[in-house]
Amino acid sequence: MEIERRVLKNGAVRWRVRWRQGGRRRSQVFDRKGDAVTFSAELRRRQQLGTLTEMDMGRVTLTEYVVGTWCEAYASQLSPKTWMHYRQLLNKHILPSLGSLELRAIRPETIGRWQAQRLAAGHGRVSVRYALTLLGAILQRAFENGQIPSNPARAVRKAALPRRTEVRPFAPATLERMRAASSPRDATLISVLAYAGLRPGEALALQWRDVREQTILVERAISLGEEKDTKTAAHRTVRLLQPLAVDLREWRLRNGRPGDKTLIFPSAAGIPWTLAAYQSWRRRAFKRAINAAGLPHGRPYDLRHSFASLLLHEGALGDLRRSPARPRRSTHAQHLRARDGRVRGHAAARRADGDRRRESGLGRGRLLELTQPGQAGAALFPPPQVTNAEGPPGGHQFVSRRPFVSSRGQQKCDICRRLRDTMRHERTTRSALQAGGRRFDPGWLH
């Protein structure tokens, strides 16, 4: 290791540090002698510690690191669907702009400028945020492996999320119009999504043995045509409502009583649905049901929110906490604490609820029931009746037994208040009674 003085043709003086590493000679040029001496001392220190090779860390480009290290060591642990999403983000957002840069050349301002350019090019804020999150995860692995001294993505503020649209679940009357316009298979699938709250992949993975006497066991899902665990890797049971049990029983009879290990909704070839098959069903059959119900748009996943709103509207918050709709519970009722006619939480809300009960003469836990005209106190909760057995499963009728809650709780239950047809469930009940529709007893929710 040596320091030599060099004079250029223009008279400028440069100082070059020369050393041998890995069987080859290397050099570094400096403008000042002091910098050359400091660098030489650092080389000598690293040589004694055995960390001289770390000086070359970060010289690989981002593309070389992703392809050669990150994919082999970490991407193999991802699920196929997650890896497909990551591959799209890499090929569309990250590698075309940052792939040619060395890891040590990626600075926070580099990432911030890249994010601004992606947004200015018209790309969605959500996808750009996903890309930044993935880039941060890749650079974090590089930092943990000693390729870079720090993770520059941590110092970059993500773009603000777009304005979030409120979830608008479908009312029961809307769901029944969708089912009436669908084939028997599609009508039953819509019933499972709307009246059990399953994710589409979980519904397509159901087997007949999962349908029990009073519950449905959810322990698997279909992803990209393959069976896997549920999204949260947590198995659960969902209460089997009586109308849904009737729909499933009719569908099984139509298929000639298949075996317990047979899929409830197999593809035409008798195998799990592929991604292309599901997308085709969503574009054609489900879109046709949405149009028949008079809705401008809708997704199969919105039926899951409808189930959560149904539980919330009927006062079954206990079921909502244990239901499959729990991840979006804050969307449906973020601060509502009413259950069995009682109000928990804010002291003022409890006092207001007590005053309201004393004025109305209702005790704690008493529910308001709809009665037939001229029969005071007679509840409209007879056993369910089945009609239209030859065609698609018949319509369900919803009768509300909503418990009294405080005015504060009613204001915060905004998502159910936006459903005008759901709030007018008394009118829907009377119309369905006159038409002889199938009865849906909300007492099954409690």
Instruction: Tell which CATH architecture fits domain 62-155.
Output: Orthogonal Bundle (1.10)
Nearest Cα to Cα of residue 199 among 158, 173, 228: 228
The model's pTM is 0.58
CATH 3.40.50.620 applies to domain 172-445:
no
CA distance 18 to 29: 9
**Strands of 229-303, DSSP E:** 236-239
CA distance 144 to 329: 37
Query: φ, ψ for residue 102 (rounded to 5)?
Result: -70, 150
Q: Tell me if 239 sits within 8 A of 215, measured CB to CB.
A: yes
The per-residue pLDDT for 280 is 93
The per-residue pLDDT for 218 is 93
The per-residue pLDDT for 123 is 93
CA distance 100 to 89: 16
CA distance 182 to 290: 10
- Write out the two tokens for 9: 């043709």
Domain boundaries, the chain: 2-55, 62-155, 172-445
The reply to whether 172-445 shares the fold of 62-155 is no
Distance of CA 401 to the CA centre of its chain: 31
The per-residue pLDDT for 256 is 92
Residue burial 309-324, b: 16+ Cβ < 10 Å; e: rest: bbbbbbbbbebbeebb
Mean pLDDT per 10-residue section of the chain, whose length is 446 residues: 84 86 78 88 80 69 92 84 92 94 93 95 94 95 88 93 80 90 94 92 94 92 86 87 91 93 91 91 93 90 83 55 44 36 44 54 34 33 38 44 42 44 43 44 42
